[in-house]
């Protein structure tokens, strides 16, 4: 990874033992780490300085993790967010992704997995910076049109059934793969490799979650999709 500086991570976690453990282990990986214990403080801190990644617990005093993440996105702050969700609350994942989180790890988490996801998101951030730079230099303006919709890869905005909205980083990245390879069969595994950087990850549910969100945005009948088609047992085919 090209690093201009040491990546700065903000940990938002009210349970002191967990926060302390995360800080310790992230610092061992040579990241710079700040810790805050509630949602409001997280918003204050992120308004003051730019982080490369936010590790955001869902259950927090005051504002919860979903509210913090939504507010960040509303402010046009697209710092990658890795959410810590409760395994006992499967809906957390859906709410988390809806609120604009880039990825999630369920608690109790395995340290190795968490650190791997942190690394992937930081690498993605680098990629995203580069991709944005390329789009700015291009003449196409980074806008991809299909049917009555469009996706703007520069501004992250998209015209959807519900009007113009901001896509999450993952939604945008999946749309980018679709835009580059229209009418082709794209496997879940390829998407995991290209968008999540996890070619050998056994769980493809993260892919399906993003597809669900994209269908909500672009398909008036998710059971008879016009654009995002299932290819049984393999993955998807995007038809512009
Ligand atoms: Ca908590």
**Predicted pLDDT at 154:** 80
Structure tokens at 145: 């049109």
Read off the pLDDT of residues 188-235 as tens digits, 9 standing for 90 and up: 888 988 888 776 776 778 888 899 999 999 999 878 899 999 998 889
**Predicted pLDDT at 65:** 96
Quote the ligand 1 centre to 64 CA distance (angstroms): 9
**Predicted pLDDT at 229:** 94
Quote the ligand 1 centre to 214 CA distance (angstroms): 30
**Predicted pLDDT at 152:** 87
Quote the ligand 1 centre to 131 CA distance (angstroms): 35
Element (H, E) at 211: helix 205-218
- Residue 104 β-bridge partners: 83
- CATH classification (class only), 140-238: mainly alpha
Quote the ligand 1 centre to 207 CA distance (angstroms): 26
Structure tokens at 3: 């690093």
Sites in the chain below the pLDDT cut of 70? 1-4, 125-142, 199, 202
Quote the ligand 1 centre to 53 CA distance (angstroms): 18
Quote the ligand 1 centre to 63 CA distance (angstroms): 11
**Predicted pLDDT at 134:** 41
Core vs surface per residue 96-127: b (16+ CB within 10 A) or e: bbebbbbbbbbbebeeeebbebbbbbbebbee
Quote the ligand 1 centre to 13 CA distance (angstroms): 6
Quote the ligand 1 centre to 62 CA distance (angstroms): 11
CA distances from 229 to 26, 183, 223, 226 (A): 40, 10, 10, 7
**pTM of the complete model:** 0.57
**Predicted pLDDT at 13:** 97
Judging by beta carbons within 10 Å of its beta carbon (0-12, 13-18, 19+), is residue 18 exposed, middle or buried?
middle
Quote the ligand 1 centre to 189 CA distance (angstroms): 33
Q: Are 6 and 30 in contact (CB under 8 A)?
A: yes
Q: How many beta carbons lie within 10 A of that of residue 131, not counting itself? A: 17
Read off the pLDDT of residues 24-41 as tens digits, 9 standing for 90 and up: 999 999 999 999 999 999
Residue 189 φ/ψ, nearest 5 degrees: -65, -40
- Chain region(s) in the chain for CATH 1.10.10.10: 140-238
Quote the ligand 1 centre to 11 CA distance (angstroms): 11
Tell me if the domain spanning 8-128 has CATH number 3.40.50.2300: yes
HEC readout, 158-209:
EEECCEEEECCHHHHHHHHHHHHCCCCEEEHHHHHHHHHCCCCCCCCHHHHH
Paired sense of beta strands 185-187 and 235-238, if any: antiparallel
Quote the ligand 1 centre to 173 CA distance (angstroms): 30
**Predicted pLDDT at 125:** 66
Q: Are 51 and 43 in contact (CB under 8 A)?
A: no
- Chain region(s) in the chain for CATH 3.40.50.2300: 8-128
> For residues 235, 236, 237 and 239, what is the CA-based torsion angle, rounded to 10 degrees?
180
Quote the ligand 1 centre to 52 CA distance (angstroms): 22
């Amino acid at each position: 990874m090209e690093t201009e500086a040491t990546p700065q991570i903000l940990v938002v976690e009210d349970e002191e033992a967990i926060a302390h453990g995360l800080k310790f282990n992230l610092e061992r990986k040579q990241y710079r780490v700040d810790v805050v214990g509630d949602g409001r403080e997280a918003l204050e801190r992120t308004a003051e300085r730019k982080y490369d990644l936010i590790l955001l617990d869902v259950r927090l005093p005051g504002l919860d993790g979903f509210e913090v993440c939504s507010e960040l996105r509303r402010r046009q702050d697209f710092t990658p967010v890795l959410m810590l969700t409760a395994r006992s609350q499967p809906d957390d994942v859906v709410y988390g992704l809806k609120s604009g989180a880039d990825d999630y790890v369920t608690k109790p988490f395995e340290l190795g997995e968490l650190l791997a996801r942190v690394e992937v998101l930081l690498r993605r951030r680098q990629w995203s910076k580069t991709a944005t730079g390329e789009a700015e230099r291009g003449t196409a303006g980074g806008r991809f049109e299909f049917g009555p919709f469009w996706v703007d890869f520069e501004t992250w905005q998209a015209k959807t059934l519900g009007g113009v909205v901001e896509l999450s980083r993952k939604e945008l990245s999946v749309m980018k793969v679709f835009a580059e390879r229209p009418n082709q069969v794209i496997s879940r595994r390829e998407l995991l490799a290209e968008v999540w950087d996890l070619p050998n990850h056994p769980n493809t549910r993260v892919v399906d979650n993003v597809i669900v969100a994209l269908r909500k945005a672009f398909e008036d009948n998710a059971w008879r999709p016009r654009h995002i088609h299932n290819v049984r047992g393999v993955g998807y085919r995007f038809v512009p």
